[in-house]
Amino acid sequence: MRILVTGGLGFIGSHVTEALVADGHDVAILDSVHPYAHREQPPTPDGAVLRLGDIRDPDILDELLPGVDAVVHQAAMVGMGVDMADLPEYVGCNDLGTAVLLAAMTRHRVGSLVLASSMVVYGEGAYACPVDGPLAPAPRDTADLAAGRFEPRCPRCGEFLVPGLVDEDARLDPRSVYAATKLAQEHLASAWAHAVGGAAVALRYHNVYGPRMPRDTPYSGVAAIFRSALERGDAPQVFEDGGQRRDFVHVRDVAAANVAALAAATGSMTGLRAYNVASGHVTTVGEMAGSLAEVMAGPPPIVTGRFRAGDVRHVVASPARARHELGFAARIDFRAGLTEFAAAGLRS
């Protein structure tokens, strides 16, 4: 098939492109080399054709989409950002960009989409109260956080909650600008799919790490932030008490999930279907920092007790739906993947 990959020069997008080429697809890339993601233009993955340009330019999409069978939409601004001054650029790149893409796909009768979504659409993960059972947590109180009480409380009785696994039918509660734009992308894709009879697969990536990750910037993931500190000879600075539960999934596993999702999106499905893309293994942020420090022979992490408004405590996924419906299961062991990551090149 002929596939257009938006954002195909990026950290995840470049691995997705390589996996699609290896699977026998004819791949074109559209990438703007946005300065928040790239300080310089990365190399084009072997076997793919690059078109530099902005996804918000309909003329470029009209040039690229004729003859395309499906779009794998990776292009987005990611991360927490700096402050609310980033809001227009997040919405412009992520939501307006997606809207312009979907309108162009409609013009050119391209009916299959794989969308890079994120775990951030959930906000907090799944919890249960020892007294009141499963429920959504109340926002964490600043006084609790300042006192080192980091676990969410039950909104009914005030007891600390017990975390569990979040599945794709959980309540969606974005807690950041980035999260709000990712959820809006899902809604736009769903509306498009229902309107045109198309198929959209939304892949909710959990904490992705691996080679070519961007270095330490406000738009980087925590693994890159910790690695950059260790390369400087500094101890990783771990927020809260380090007990935040996450699922770290290797970027090549994410690429494999995209190949599996493409098969579903170009099959018999219609509408939008969301899937967690996760390893299925729980790792705390503190454990990840400690393991990375060990494999890099660096100083052990420092648990600072600091916190950020808008951070969530625990988000750990159930990977069952992707395994049962897409046939996707992550294969790369966390320790082996982290050892590779510690020595791999990062993006400048």
220 vs 229, residue with greater confidence:
229
25 domain residue, yes or no = yes
pLDDT 10s digits, 117-147:
999 999 999 999 999 999 988 888 899 999 9
- Please say if the pLDDT value at position 218 is more than 60: no
pLDDT 10s digits, 176-194:
889 999 999 999 999 999 9
pLDDT at 84: 78
pLDDT at 309: 73
85 vs 14, residue with greater confidence:
14
CA dist., res. 224 & res. 216, Å (int): 6
147 domain residue, yes or no = no
pLDDT at 263: 97
pLDDT at 156: 93
What Å distances lie between residue 318 and 3, 246, 308, CA to CA?
A: 29, 12, 26
- Please say if the pLDDT value at position 217 is more than 70: no
Helix (H, G, I), strand (E, B) or coil at 322: helix
Residues 6+ apart with CB under 8 A from 27: 2, 3, 4, 5, 8, 17, 20, 21, 45, 47, 48, 49
Task: Note whether 322 and 287 are within 8 A (CB).
Answer: no
Domain, as residue range, for 317: 2-126+164-343
CA-nearest of 128, 120, 119, 193 to 154 is 128
Q: Of all helices (H) and strands (E), which one includes residue 209?
A: strand 207-209
pLDDT at 348: 63
Average pLDDT (294-319) is: 93
Confidence label for 340 from pLDDT (cuts 50, 70 and 90): very high
Q: Of all helices (H) and strands (E), which one includes residue 292?
A: helix 285-295
The pLDDT mean for the chain works out to 93
Q: How many domains does the chain have?
A: 1
- Please say if the pLDDT value at position 210 is more than 60: yes
pLDDT at 139: 82
What Å distances lie between residue 261 and 4, 40, 49, 181, 325, CA to CA?
A: 14, 30, 22, 21, 9
For tokens 């380090």, the residue is 242
Confidence label for 90 from pLDDT (cuts 50, 70 and 90): confident
CA-nearest of 16, 4, 27 to 208 is 16
143 domain residue, yes or no = no
151 domain residue, yes or no = no
CA-nearest of 157, 166, 121 to 138 is 157
- Please say if the pLDDT value at position 199 is more than 70: yes
Enter the pTM of the model.
0.94
- Please say if the pLDDT value at position 209 is more than 90: yes
Confidence label for 220 from pLDDT (cuts 50, 70 and 90): low
Residue 305 CB coordination number (10 Å): 15
142 domain residue, yes or no = no
pLDDT at 345: 76
86 domain residue, yes or no = yes
Please report, in angstroms and rounded to a whole number, the separation of the first and last CA atoms in the chain.
Answer: 33
132 domain residue, yes or no = no
Task: Note whether 279 and 236 are within 8 A (CB).
Answer: no
Instruction: Residue 49: give its domain's CATH number.
Output: 3.40.50.720
Helix (H, G, I), strand (E, B) or coil at 46: coil
Confidence label for 221 from pLDDT (cuts 50, 70 and 90): confident
Instruction: Report CA 35 to chain centroid distance, whole Å.
Output: 19
Average pLDDT (298-322) is: 93
Judged on CB neighbours under 10 Å (0-12, 13-18, 19+), 59 is exposed
Average pLDDT (309-315) is: 87
Instruction: Report CA 146 to chain centroid distance, whole Å.
Output: 29
pLDDT 10s digits, 29-81:
999 887 776 777 889 999 999 999 999 999 999 999 999 999 999 999 886 65
139 domain residue, yes or no = no
Average pLDDT (98-113) is: 98
Average pLDDT (13-22) is: 98
